[in-house]
């Protein structure tokens, strides 16, 4: 459906090799590496191994397992914890160091978690390869499928734009590299084999330019009487009254509980993921595809926003398309080091038309809507699997 084209000035990009209908799933890809945000209020609701979301109000669900040493990772159960055991044993001391320093902000610490994970994965991969060469059965007790597919080369081949980073920013990255190197060496010297501070800085540049936010539309159960509108205040007094007067009969109590609970959907960023193929899509403020993150697993799915002609390049938006032209150009220059040449940046009225057609009308949502399905990739959960079954 898509082919890779190589441009001299812009590097690799994806082009439609056949006409593509709006709503078609173009790529689905699991992350090379993913991490849950450092100290996010939701981090204890996600399994850090399989990225399954556990609703706090869910009945029958047992509390997540928690690493008592670093206090930074949670798991669904023993199964998920043991799948991550080899990796986490090596990253845990560095995570603890992260937790106890105030040299870096939370966003920076999320990136550092990812970098530590990359180094640990690379070490385990090397170990696995050595054992295979020597014909030794693996000494690891767990099935490490994520290690099997891990390849540091895939990451190093991504564009990091290091030469364009401001000096001040590079100085900051060098401070991070020193901190991480020190921690990993004190855990196990061999972890840093094949890495020096310069290579760590290169990888951080790559992470800054290529990681995708892992954001999910999460159902939140709200109790009706928590709302402040006058109607719900009435309902509140009613339901409280009902609850107090009907506690004796189980059936009525059930009904009352049902009335009190309302599910709303919230789009929340819970971490970051680095992907291989999905890193080669370029940006446009007038995208023709949009992305959806899937839980569990953090799969990234790219979907056609509108009908796409054969030979058209595929673009999604790296930043919010509803920002002003000036703000978009500034943000893209600062974060991704290019001058946006998209139709929306060249012609403001055409961008307004685009927003009228595709931008979600829900206030502050900033999602995009496929006119065909009327589903938003942010506020109305886009169920990719159901979509696939239909076709």
> Applying CB under 5 A, which residues contact Zn ion?
47, 49-50, 52, 67, 69-70, 76, 80, 92, 285, 340, 342, 344-345, 360, 362, 365, 367, 376, 378-379
The residue written with tokens 């060098």 in the block is 174
Nearer to Zn ion, 45 or 70 (CB): 70
What secondary structure does DSSP assign to 75-143, as a single string?
ESSHHHHHHTHHHHHHHHHHHHHHHH--SS-HHHHHHHHHHHHHHHHHHHHHHHHHHHHTTPPP--SS-
Shortest gap between Cβ of 162 and Zn ion (angstroms)? 24
Query: Is the CB of 25 or the CB of 340 nearer to Zn ion?
Result: 340
Distance CA 121, CA 192 (A): 11
Q: How far is the CB of 49 from Zn ion (least distance, A)?
A: 5
16 vs 369 by CB, closer to Zn ion: 369
Nearest to Zn ion of 31, 367 (CB atom): 367
325 backbone dihedrals φ, ψ, rounded to 5°: -55, -45
Contact 37, 47 (CB under 8 A): no
Least distance between Zn ion and beta carbon 76 (Å): 3
- CA 83 to CA 233: how far, in whole Å? 48
Provide the angle, in degrees to the nearest 10, between the axes of the packed helices 197-210 and 325-336: 150
Q: Which pairing describes strands 315-316 and 25-29: parallel, antiparallel, or unpaired?
A: unpaired
In whole angstroms, the minimum distance from the beta carbon of 193 to Zn ion comes to 22
What values do phi and psi take at 21, rounded to 5? Answer: -85, 145
- The rounded distance, in Å, linking the Cα atoms of 99 and 72 is 8
Cα angle: 208, vertex 296, 390; to 5 degrees: 110
Task: Give the shortest CB-333-to-Zn ion separation in angstroms.
Answer: 11
Q: Which is nearer to Zn ion, 81 or 256 (CB)?
A: 81
CB of 328 to Zn ion, least distance (A): 6
CA distance 326 to 324: 5
Q: Minimal distance in Å, beta carbon 357 to Zn ion?
A: 14
Q: Choose between 298 and 367: whose C-beta lies nearer to Zn ion.
A: 367
Tokens of 82: 């043991």
Q: How far is the CB of 218 from Zn ion (least distance, A)?
A: 14
Task: Kindly state the smallest distance separating residue 198's Cβ from Zn ion, in Å.
Answer: 28
**Rounded to a whole number, what is the distance in angstroms from the first to the last CA of the chain?**
16
Beta strands 11-16 and 2-7, pairing class: antiparallel
Of 77 and 243, which CB lies nearer to Zn ion in the complex structure? Answer: 77
Beta bridge partners of 212: 273
The answer to whether 329 touches 293, Cβ cutoff 8 Å, is: no
Closer to Zn ion by CB, 49 or 288: give it: 49
Q: Which CB sits closer to Zn ion, 301 or 378?
A: 378
């Amino acid at each position: 459906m898509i082919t890779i084209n190589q441009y001299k000035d812009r590097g690799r990009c994806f082009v439609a090799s056949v006409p593509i209908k709006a709503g078609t799933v173009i790529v689905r890809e699991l992350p090379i590496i993913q991490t849950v945000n450092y100290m996010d209020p939701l981090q204890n609701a996600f399994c850090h191994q399989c990225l399954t979301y556990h609703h706090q109000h869910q009945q029958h669900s047992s509390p997540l397992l928690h690493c008592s040493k670093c206090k930074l990772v949670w798991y669904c159960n023993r199964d998920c914890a043991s799948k991550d055991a080899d990796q986490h044993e090596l990253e845990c001391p560095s995570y603890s160091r992260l937790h106890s320093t105030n040299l870096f902000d939370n966003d920076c610490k999320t990136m550092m978690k990812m970098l530590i994970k990359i180094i640990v994965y690379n070490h385990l991969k090397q170990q696995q390869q050595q054992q295979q060469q020597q014909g030794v059965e693996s000494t690891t007790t767990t099935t490490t499928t994520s290690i099997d597919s891990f390849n540091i080369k895939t990451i190093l081949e991504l564009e990091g734009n290091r030469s364009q980073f401001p000096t001040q920013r590079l100085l900051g990255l060098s401070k991070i590299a020193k901190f991480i190197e020190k921690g990993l060496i004190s855990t196990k010297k061999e972890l840093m084999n094949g890495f020096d501070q310069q290579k760590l800085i290169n990888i951080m540049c790559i992470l800054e330019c290529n990681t995708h936010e892992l954001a999910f539309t999460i159902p939140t159960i709200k109790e009706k009487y928590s709302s402040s509108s006058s109607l719900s205040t009435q309902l509140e007094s009613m339901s409280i009254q009902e609850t107090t007067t009907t506690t004796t009969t189980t059936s009525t109590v059930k009904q009352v509980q049902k009335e009190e609970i309302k599910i709303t959907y919230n789009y929340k960023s819970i971490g970051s993921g680095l992907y291989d193929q999905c890193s080669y899509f370029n940006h446009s403020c007038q995208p023709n595809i949009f992305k959806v993150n899937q839980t569990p697993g953090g799969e990234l799915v790219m979907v056609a926003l509108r009908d796409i002609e054969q030979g058209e390049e595929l673009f999604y938006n790296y930043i919010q398309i509803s920002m002003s032209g000036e703000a978009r150009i500034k943000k893209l220059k600062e974060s991704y080091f290019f001058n946006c040449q998209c139709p929306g940046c060249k012609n403001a009225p055409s961008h307004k038309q685009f927003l009228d057609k595709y931008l979600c009308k829900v206030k502050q949502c900033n999602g995009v809507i496929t006119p065909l399905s009327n589903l938003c990739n942010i506020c109305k959960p886009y169920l990719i699997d159901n979509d696939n079954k239909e076709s």
